[in-house]
Each structure stands twice: as C-alpha cells, then as structure tokens.
C-alpha cells in the first residue's frame, strides 16, 4: 500500500515540477497546488498506512487496539490542506489581479518591479 501511495506521490511531484517550469503564471499556480497535494500525500504515507482497524478506543479500554491506524497524520494533513487551500485562494486572486493590471501572465513579460534596461547608477558628480 505504501509503495502505491509513494508512486502516486512521485507522479504528483513530477507533474508539479513540470508545470512550475512553465513561463505562464497560471501553470505555475497549478504546479504549486499539485506540489502541496503531493506534500499532503507524503505526510499521509509517512504515518504508515494500515487497514481494517479504526483508531477508536473501545469502551472500558485506555489504549486503541493493536494495529490501529495512525490518526495523527490525518490531523497534520487536515491542517496542511486548510492552509494550502487558503493560500491557493489568495494566489488565485493575486494572479487574476496581476493579469488584469499587467495584461500578461508570461513571467518573461512581467518586468514592472524590475524594469529591463535600467541605466547604471551614477558614476560621479
């Protein structure tokens, strides 16, 4: 089971790196979303994947049954999903606004903050 999830995670990372190598902001955005999904899958797999035994403590016991699934990665993944989602929402709006203002989603053409062909600093007065 871990091997299958690991292969899937690797696929996610490969797709995300491919997308992030693009010049176009919207593809980079999709790449980062894929990257954070890959990260979440990594956390999930790192908690070891066990089947069948739910991590619920039976009545009258103080410990979960042997071989119970690890519940902690789910808490971590949930936190990471919430954060990644809010950042995705912010980035989506940011990308849309900068497309409206700058008129391009090509990172080569986004040179407002660092204009091309700036003169040298003064060499003397």
Q: For residue 42, state whether it binds other proteins (rule: CB under 8 A).
A: yes
Nearest Cα neighbor of 101 from 14, 25, 21, 8 is 25
* List of residues 6+ apart from 108 with CB closer than 8 A: 23
* List of residues 6+ apart from 92 with CB closer than 8 A: 29
Q: For residue 30, state whether it binds other proteins (rule: CB under 8 A).
A: no
Count the site residues for other proteins by CB under 8 A.
47
User: Of 18, 65, 90, 106, which lies in the binding site for other proteins, with binding defined by CB under 8 A?
Assistant: 90
User: Of 15, 30, 74, 98, which lies in the binding site for other proteins, with binding defined by CB under 8 A?
Assistant: 98
Q: What angle do CA 8, 10, 15 make, to 5 degrees?
A: 95
Q: For residue 19, state whether it binds other proteins (rule: CB under 8 A).
A: no
Residues 59-78 that bind other proteins (CB under 8 A): 62, 70, 72-73, 76
Q: For residue 114, state whether it binds other proteins (rule: CB under 8 A).
A: yes
């Amino acid at each position: 089971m871990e091997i299958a999830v690991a292969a899937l995670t690797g696929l996610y990372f490969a797709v995300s790196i491919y997308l992030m190598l693009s010049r176009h902001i919207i593809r980079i955005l999709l790449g980062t979303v894929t990257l954070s999904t890959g990260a979440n899958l990594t956390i999930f797999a790192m908690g070891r994947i066990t089947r069948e035994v739910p991590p619920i403590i039976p009545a009258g016991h103080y410990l979960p049954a042997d071989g119970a699934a690890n519940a902690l990665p789910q808490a971590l993944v949930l936190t990471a999903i919430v954060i990644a989602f809010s950042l995705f929402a912010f980035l989506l709006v940011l990308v849309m606004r900068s497309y409206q203002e700058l008129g391009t989603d090509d990172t080569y053409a986004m040179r407002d903050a660092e204009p091309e062909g700036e003169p040298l600093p003064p060499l003397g007065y």
